[in-house]
A and B are shown apart, each in its own frame.
Chain A
């Protein structure tokens, strides 16, 4: 290779790699969107019973906060309209409308949570509270004699005779956390039962803690939500029970306390609150014939923080950054993600053909095949490829006998391919072998030419050579497919289309390679038999 070519290659590499350096190191933009981890999909499904009247059906939805960020949300009211109310007790959605038939409306959120760590509350000697605090968080129900006996029994044992409210609250919390056994199947709605058996579900425990706090003039409330943890029972499909814990008002601030799993002034990321102060929410949530179910499932796919990255670029002042594929609409982005893979396939192809010495059908067939594998599914791709080979044989041995001119004969193959796709798509509709079956991306015409070439090659060059080319095509397609499936690679090329110039440089390097192909050592091995001069 001469100096001019080297210069060209180096310049190309520089032009393509420098902007990456400049953007990330000098402009300080993130290298690329990062992978999101620990995301959950929360679905609140409202089963709506048929009724003739106009109704409002309320349901709780996650409320964004410091420890809870929402990525995405969508809903389908199945004909009912949605309004969202933000209150001190949480965020609530309301389905409004008439539902004459039974239906399930859903509200879906993709969110992530963080741990909560509060600095421990100092001694609290607050004597008086505002009217609203008193009314909402200090009110006590009428107790029966047995209930009162049970509560005072605990109080006599637990509540320190001297001490501030923080100390009292902690003592109560420790008692319930440690002395009352957690049993998720034990209904704890009756306080006297809980005290008697010393066993309860999370509702019973948090209710007891709330009542005991309030009796000591410490404002407290019950928080309801779900725990974002992997589920042991897969049949539930992520359906969650409402779990309860508490918040205690000390030094004019709410402190989280979970008397079930033992957290005070802290919570793990697993706690997803849906509503606060169960008493005031009860009326809203139970006042209709709606069955509210909450589902939580971990987001499995490795999704990239595309939206945030896009925002980061938009906010930057540099024109260089705004000149980005991320500014395109989402659907167009998706197309470019695929398009940008094609040159990558070219690198694989050039390497295998010119350096290893693979034979292939047509020049770009392997790449098309790899794209097809990616578009459909791998299994379908390979089976379809096999079908093409079978059609090639049909063409050779059956159509040959009809003595048709080339173009009509090719068109028959073309038609057969289309017909097969129809049959397959219809069958797939009912059997659901493959999701997202979209035949549109596959170049059917090129397929037909492939079949034709294949069938000629069998006759002209024999089965052995044809099989070689067939395997070569398949191997390159598989390797490209594997490469195409690496998400990070896809995102890098999409984030930095400059890398295309690097690929051109690689093509120049391969194109200038005049050394032996690996396969030629095999091909010319007979020449080694010649005795050395």
Chain B
């Protein structure tokens, strides 16, 4: 009975995600384009997709010696592994006084600890494969006022699933006290479904349970229109043209000054987006398969997808 209900809702399971969508649409050779954020950012620049500036990229332990010189001009920045996943290994620095830095959760961290952390990243501790990695020091996204009351200790990100170049489903992930500023559902962030057509938030899940207000600020989460929505959808759809990955998750952050920017792209986007939207992916994916496969410009694909998904009964 539950099985039938799941099928009716079009819930996509892990096995089907891998077997039917990732393996069929994502080619191995395209993975590095999204698994290494240094490559992603170079490609994004070529394709006119905005991403946060990389202040510096470290590839060797030796260069960490003059870390303080490199960091001197910057008061805020993000340190992340180039091949990290699920937000692991990311440290956000929002302020400093000389050699002591303030993290987004207001903890203090010394340059020595920072260097140690970066060395760990270089060793491959946070990389998907466990191989040696690169460290990126990146522009820190400024929290957009729209999220002031619903994002705690960090910046939310907006995830859009793109299938064969068509937008399919979207959500935003709001950091909480528990998630320690990170926008990762496993770590206690809130997943909020976004109506793909309008860009307005709807249902929210927190620790796998439906909620209506932010657990820390008690502010209602649903019904908030996400600014720059059309721009965000366009950016994500261009991600397909840039990577060639047929089943793609594009993560976007909204900067207070610079507007929407792609944080990273993901060739293995998770399934929790279905819970956040209370809608299954499978039906939408199957409908998208009826649309033309190649040759349409991004804007037309968006129009087609919106029309198709808008006409669905879910």
Q: Is B314 an interface residue (CB 8 A)?
A: yes
Q: Is B186 an interface residue (CB 8 A)?
A: yes
Q: List 14 A-B contacts (CB under 8 A).
A: A354-B15, A357-B14, A406-B124, A406-B125, A456-B126, A514-B15, A515-B13, A516-B15, A527-B9, A527-B11, A529-B210, A529-B278, A530-B9, A530-B278
Q: Among A449, A514, A527, which residue has its beta carbon within 8 angstroms of that of B19?
A: A514
Q: Is B228 an interface residue (CB 8 A)?
A: no
A515: chain B residues at CB < 8 Å are 13, 15-16
Complex Cα spacing A403 to B6, Å? 48
A513: chain B residues at CB < 8 Å are 15, 19
Check B6 against A516 for contact (C-beta < 8 Å).
yes
B9: chain A residues at CB < 8 Å are 527, 530
Q: Is A460 an interface residue (CB 8 A)?
A: yes
Chain-B contact segment, one of A68-76, A166-174, A245-253, A518-526: A518-526
A449: chain B residues at CB < 8 Å are 130
Q: Report A278 CB to chain B, min CB distance, Å.
A: 76
Interface residues of A in 476-526 (CB under 8 A from B): 511-517, 520-521, 523-524, 526
Q: Is A465 an interface residue (CB 8 A)?
A: yes
Q: Report B61 CB to chain A, min CB distance, Å.
A: 8
Q: Among B15, B123, B186, B278, which residue has its beta carbon within 8 angstroms of that of A406?
A: B123
A528: chain B residues at CB < 8 Å are 2, 5
**Residue of B126, B187, B210, B278 ringed by the most chain A CB atoms within 10 A:** B278
Q: Report A453 CB to chain B, min CB distance, Å.
A: 9
Q: Among B11, B187, B313, B314, which residue has its beta carbon within 8 angstroms of that of A524?
A: B11
Check A514 against B13 for contact (C-beta < 8 Å).
yes
B124: chain A residues at CB < 8 Å are 406
Asked if A516 meets B13 with Cβ closer than 8 Å, knowing A406-B120, A526-B208, the reply is yes
Check A526 against B15 for contact (C-beta < 8 Å).
no
Check B116 against A403 for contact (C-beta < 8 Å).
yes
Q: Is B263 an interface residue (CB 8 A)?
A: no
Q: Is B28 an interface residue (CB 8 A)?
A: no
Q: Is A461 an interface residue (CB 8 A)?
A: yes
Complex Cα spacing A119 to B267, Å? 84
B205: chain A residues at CB < 8 Å are 526
A461: chain B residues at CB < 8 Å are 186-187
Complex Cα spacing A530 to B314, Å? 10
Q: Chain A residue with minimal CB distance to B208?
A: A526
User: A-side binding surface: helix, strand, loop or mixed?
Assistant: helix
Q: Is A141 an interface residue (CB 8 A)?
A: no
Q: Is B20 an interface residue (CB 8 A)?
A: yes
B45: chain A residues at CB < 8 Å are none
Q: Among A452, A520, A529, which residue has its beta carbon within 8 angstroms of that of B13?
A: A520
Asked if A524 meets B125 with Cβ closer than 8 Å, knowing A406-B120, A533-B313, the reply is no
Complex Cα spacing A528 to B274, Å? 11
Having A406-B125, A407-B123, one finds 6 other A-B pairs with CB under 8 Å, namely A403-B116, A406-B124, A462-B187, A511-B19, A523-B208, A527-B6
Q: Is A405 an interface residue (CB 8 A)?
A: yes
Interface residues of B in 121-157 (CB under 8 A from A): 123-126, 130
Interface residues of B in 278-294 (CB under 8 A from A): 278-280
B279: chain A residues at CB < 8 Å are 530
Interface residues of B in 1-37 (CB under 8 A from A): 2-3, 5-6, 9, 11, 13-16, 19-20
Q: Report A284 CB to chain B, min CB distance, Å.
A: 73
Check B2 against A517 for contact (C-beta < 8 Å).
no
Q: Is B309 an interface residue (CB 8 A)?
A: no
Interface residue count on the B side (C-beta < 8 Å) = 39
Complex interface bits, A375-410 against B, C-beta within 8 A gives 1, otherwise 0: 000000000000000000000000000010111000
Complex Cα spacing A249 to B9, Å? 91
Complex Cα spacing A456 to B314, Å? 40
A516: chain B residues at CB < 8 Å are 3, 6, 11, 13, 15
Check B6 against A517 for contact (C-beta < 8 Å).
no
A523: chain B residues at CB < 8 Å are 208, 275
A357: chain B residues at CB < 8 Å are 14
Check B88 against A403 for contact (C-beta < 8 Å).
no
Q: Chain A residue with minimal CB distance to B17?
A: A514
Q: Report B181 CB to chain A, min CB distance, Å.
A: 14
Check B119 against A405 for contact (C-beta < 8 Å).
yes
Check A533 against B112 for contact (C-beta < 8 Å).
no
Q: Report B223 CB to chain A, min CB distance, Å.
A: 17
Check B186 against A465 for contact (C-beta < 8 Å).
yes
Q: Report B225 CB to chain A, min CB distance, Å.
A: 22
Complex Cα spacing A452 to B125, Å? 9
Q: Is B218 an interface residue (CB 8 A)?
A: no
Q: Chain A residue with minimal CB distance to B117?
A: A403
Complex interface bits, A154-175 against B, C-beta within 8 A gives 1, otherwise 0: 0000000000000000000000
B20: chain A residues at CB < 8 Å are 514
Complex Cα spacing A456 to B128, Å? 13
Complex Cα spacing A407 to B116, Å? 13
Complex Cα spacing A405 to B117, Å? 9
Q: Report A350 CB to chain B, min CB distance, Å.
A: 11
Check A526 against B210 for contact (C-beta < 8 Å).
yes
A533: chain B residues at CB < 8 Å are 313-314
Asked if A524 meets B112 with Cβ closer than 8 Å, knowing A406-B123, A515-B16, A533-B314, the reply is no
Q: Report B139 CB to chain A, min CB distance, Å.
A: 24
Complex Cα spacing A406 to B88, Å? 16
Complex Cα spacing A507 to B280, Å? 28
Complex Cα spacing A105 to B135, Å? 71
Q: Chain B residue with minimal CB distance to A410?
A: B123
A403: chain B residues at CB < 8 Å are 112-113, 116
Q: Report A254 CB to chain B, min CB distance, Å.
A: 74
Complex Cα spacing A449 to B2, Å? 39
Q: Is B72 an interface residue (CB 8 A)?
A: no
Q: Is B63 an interface residue (CB 8 A)?
A: no
Complex Cα spacing A514 to B20, Å? 7
**Residue of A406, A515, A517, A527 ringed by the most chain B CB atoms within 10 A:** A527
Check A405 against B275 for contact (C-beta < 8 Å).
no
Q: Report B209 CB to chain A, min CB distance, Å.
A: 6
Check A526 against B275 for contact (C-beta < 8 Å).
yes
Check B88 against A460 for contact (C-beta < 8 Å).
yes
Q: Chain A residue with minimal CB distance to B125?
A: A406
Complex Cα spacing A514 to B24, Å? 13
Q: Chain B residue with minimal CB distance to A530?
A: B278
Q: Among A407, A520, A530, which residue has its beta carbon within 8 angstroms of that of B14?
A: A520
Complex Cα spacing A465 to B19, Å? 25
Q: Report B57 CB to chain A, min CB distance, Å.
A: 19
Check B209 against A526 for contact (C-beta < 8 Å).
yes
Check A524 against B274 for contact (C-beta < 8 Å).
yes
Asked if A517 meets B116 with Cβ closer than 8 Å, knowing A526-B205, A527-B275, the reply is no
Q: Report A157 CB to chain B, min CB distance, Å.
A: 89
Complex Cα spacing A511 to B15, Å? 9
Check A524 against B210 for contact (C-beta < 8 Å).
no
Q: Chain A residue with minimal CB distance to B203?
A: A530
A514: chain B residues at CB < 8 Å are 13, 15-16, 19-20
Q: Across the A-B interface, give the 4 residue pairs with the lowest CB-CB distance, nearest first.
A: A406-B123, A514-B16, A516-B13, A514-B19
Q: Among B2, B119, B209, B314, which residue has its beta carbon within 8 angstroms of that of A521?
A: B2
Complex Cα spacing A532 to B164, Å? 29
Complex Cα spacing A405 to B62, Å? 13
B14: chain A residues at CB < 8 Å are 357, 517, 520
Q: Report A351 CB to chain B, min CB distance, Å.
A: 12
